[in-house]
């Protein structure tokens, strides 16, 4: 694997803020996925705390499954509000995120971390109240924690998590249901779709609470 350090072209802060507003709704990752015609969904990763909801531009890390190394150097390129996405191929034998990484990320204003593999120090991360999504846990640290290895690694390149491509700068929306990925070039379209979905679901809830039957709802909305 070639070592790559790229800068990231972030979406406008105004657009990101609009996605953060969606976090006030129920199941924001579902709303965004629905807005994209079921595209962009990632499952199988769980948050350290179910109450956590985040939205922000992705900073990506691609690691070789045969040579997992420390991703802390990425923090030098991170900006407040970024979401760090670590693609480590679902590895369950080595923890690629822990309490110290969470503490540093919290101090840097990072919105959260998404790790397609194992983490450790879950109790510390929970007490920090720092949002992290992960696939498994294991006590073993990354090799670089013992041998000061930081190469090779690829920062801000397209990565694949659960079959979904995440490009640096894509908007990531995550909650306890899973993760929704919005390509940067279609962010405004997805945002408008999410707003329509929010309005539709509010209306459906109102009609249910007013006594509408399932058949009536299907006639009016087509599907729920």
Q: What is the pTM of this model?
A: 0.93
What is the DSSP pairing of strand 164-166 with strand 4-5? unpaired
pLDDT at position 64, please?
77
User: For residue 220, what are the contacts with CB-CB under 8 A and spacing of at least 6?
Assistant: 207
> pLDDT per residue over 153-208, tens digit each?
788 999 999 999 999 999 999 999 999 999 999 999 999 999 999 999 999 999 99
User: For residue 191, what are the contacts with CB-CB under 8 A and spacing of at least 6?
Assistant: 15, 18, 19, 22, 35
pLDDT at position 143, please?
66
Q: Decide if domain 4-221 falls under CATH 3.50.30.40.
A: yes
Domain boundaries, the chain: 4-221
User: For residue 152, what are the contacts with CB-CB under 8 A and spacing of at least 6?
Assistant: 1, 2, 3, 64, 67, 69
CA distance readout (Å), 203 to 18, 207, 209, 224: 21, 6, 10, 11
Backbone angles phi, psi at 78, to 5 degrees: -80, 155
> pLDDT per residue over 85-119, tens digit each?
999 889 888 899 999 999 999 999 999 999 999 99
Backbone angles phi, psi at 186, to 5 degrees: -125, 20
């Amino acid at each position: 694997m070639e070592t790559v350090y790229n800068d990231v072209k972030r979406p406008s802060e105004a657009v990101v803020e609009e996605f953060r507003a969606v976090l006030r709704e129920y199941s924001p990752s579902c709303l965004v996925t629905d807005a994209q015609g079921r595209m962009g969904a990632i499952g199988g990763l769980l948050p350290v705390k179910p109450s956590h909801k985040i939205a922000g531009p992705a900073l990506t890390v691609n690691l070789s499954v045969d040579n997992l190394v420390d991703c802390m150097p990425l923090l030098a390129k991170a900006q407040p509000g970024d979401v760090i996405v670590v693609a480590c191929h679902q590895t369950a034998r080595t923890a690629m995120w822990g309490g110290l990484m969470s503490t540093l990320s919290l101090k840097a204003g990072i919105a959260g971390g998404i790790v397609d593999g194992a983490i450790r120090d879950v109790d510390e991360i929970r007490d920090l109240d720092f949002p992290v999504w992960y696939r498994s846990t294991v006590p073993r640290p990354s090799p670089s924690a013992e041998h000061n290895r930081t190469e090779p690694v690829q920062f801000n390149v397209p990565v694949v998590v659960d079959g979904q491509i995440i490009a640096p700068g894509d908007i990531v929306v995550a909650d306890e249901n899973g993760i929704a990925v919005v390509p940067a070039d279609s962010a405004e379209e997805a945002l408008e779709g999410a707003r329509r979905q929010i309005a539709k679901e509010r209306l459906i809830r109102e009609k249910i609470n007013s006594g509408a039957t399932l058949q009536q709802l299907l006639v009016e909305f087509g599907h729920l």
